[in-house]
Amino acid sequence: MTRITTSRQRVAVTGLGVKTAAGNDLETFWDTLCAGRSMARRITAFDADDLMVNFACEVRDFDPQDYLDAKGAKRMDRTAQLGFAAATDALADAGRHGVPPERRAVVTGTGHGGTGTQEDEFGAVPKRGYGRVSPHYVPMTMANATAGAISIRHELKGPSLCICTACASGAQAVGEGARLVREGAADLVVAGGCESAVAPLTMSSFARMGALSKRVSDPERASRPFDADRDGFVMGEGAGFVILENWDHAVSRGARIYGELAGYGRNSDAHHITAPSPDGTGARTCMELALADAGLTADEIVHINAHGTSTPLNDVTEARAIVDLFGAQRFPVTSTKSVIGHLIGAAGAVEAVATLLTMREGIAHPTANLERRDPGCDLDVVAERARKIPEGPMLSNSFGFGGHNATLVFLPAAM
């Protein structure tokens, strides 16, 4: 393997944390992914009877007071609650790192910010008037609320950033966090994404634009990436965070290293506010940038965790980009969204966690509901059951509204 030799710092991943419909801890999350069954169910958070789409992948059995006192939880939107909890779990998973507060940083990603609070307050104004708007509305809905909460609680006194690039937000947060470590701006970065957009107004808008699956009679079969009968994505909520650490520091303290974040690519389609560039050139270029950043060639990749939304346009465009770049070779591809839905700004970060667990276990989880492959998606998509894969570099793709693209490349710790 050819590696770039520069003065930049290597980036180790030493901690993981998730809150998803598939589970709130790493082992449950992984076991559920490997079972290959969608977690889409009828919405329970509110009365969804009047919605065009009344199902989603909700995070179950989550109590914010396991992480926050009652007052702190009440003053935090669910998006931030999920993100704060996943980040706290990731820090615990990383163990005692010994990095001084001034050398600790945080980068969070979200597509919407405090969606639930926004919709609740908008709905309450006609009844209560503007004089009764919550004084906590702004700090609960601002996109950087999660970064602030994590920084305050965990004494992260270095850079504190928030990325808002729609469905690429979580992956870009992880990538930009890696850049802070590489450039010597921080020795430890808490990086990830969070989103809770299972809310009436937001879901109604996605449904009206035709982005959501309308299989209301059979929600568990609604998310079906790369399947010929797909008709849209399933909304999900959750959070995923990773701990990025200076490689030498992680090794010196004997940290458990899940893998190395070796490559990061990001660019823009510059094509359309919601649709991907149909020829896939933006996605292909993004993957090429990530490979070049890692000092790898296309034939060294052993697995891709695809963006794989289950929308007609995205899946065929991503498949075209992958085939154009990697040629006739066949390595396993999977879509985590088939099980947990589309987490919008959290998606890329949760899928980065899934990719690292794939690397740890040497197994690619199946893509749920793939029954009749779309001939326009000429990929080796893992279906029906988990599949053993060889050790080697892996990619995770994320593409968002506005044409935002992000690709992460992970290497096994031993390489």
64-114 per-position pLDDT tens digit = 999 999 999 999 999 999 999 999 999 999 999 999 999 999 999 999 999
Q: What CA–CA distance (Å, rounded) separates 140 from 206? A: 23
Dump pLDDT digits (tens) for 98-107.
999 999 999 9
Of the candidates 268, 400, 269, 267, the residue with the CA atom closest to the CA atom of residue 344: 400
Q: What CA–CA distance (Å, rounded) separates 280 from 292? A: 18
Find how far residue 197's CA is from the centre of its chain. 14
Catalytic residues: 167, 307, 342
Dump pLDDT digits (tens) for 236-283.
999 999 999 999 999 999 999 999 999 999 999 999 999 999 999 999
Of the candidates 339, 147, 152, 353, the residue with the CA atom closest to the CA atom of residue 234: 339
Residues in CB range of 168: below 8 A, 6 or more apart? 266, 348, 398, 399, 400, 404, 405, 406
Q: Which domains does the chain have, with CATH numbers?
A: 12-410 (3.40.47.10)
Residues in CB range of 262: below 8 A, 6 or more apart? 10, 11, 293, 294, 295, 296, 393, 409, 410, 411
Of the candidates 190, 181, 225, 245, the residue with the CA atom closest to the CA atom of residue 14: 245
Give the pLDDT of residue 7.
77
Please check whether residue 33 is in contact with residue 51, taking contact to mean a CB–CB distance below 8 angstroms: no
Dump pLDDT digits (tens) for 324-379.
999 866 899 999 999 999 999 999 999 999 999 999 999 999 999 999 999 999 99
Of the candidates 196, 69, 90, the residue with the CA atom closest to the CA atom of residue 140: 196
Quote the longest CA-to-CA distance of the chain: 64
Asked if pLDDT for residue 3 goes beyond 70, the answer is no
Please check whether residue 173 is in contact with residue 217, taking contact to mean a CB–CB distance below 8 angstroms: no
* 55 sits in which H/E element: strand 55-56
| Length of the chain, in residues | 415
The first and second tokens of residue 98, run together, are 């010994």
Average pLDDT taken over every residue of the chain: 96
98 Ramachandran zone, left/alpha/beta (phi>0; psi -120 to 50): left
Find how far residue 311's CA is from the centre of its chain. 17
Q: Is the pTM higher than 0.85? A: yes
Give the pLDDT of residue 329.
67
Find how far residue 146's CA is from the centre of its chain. 15
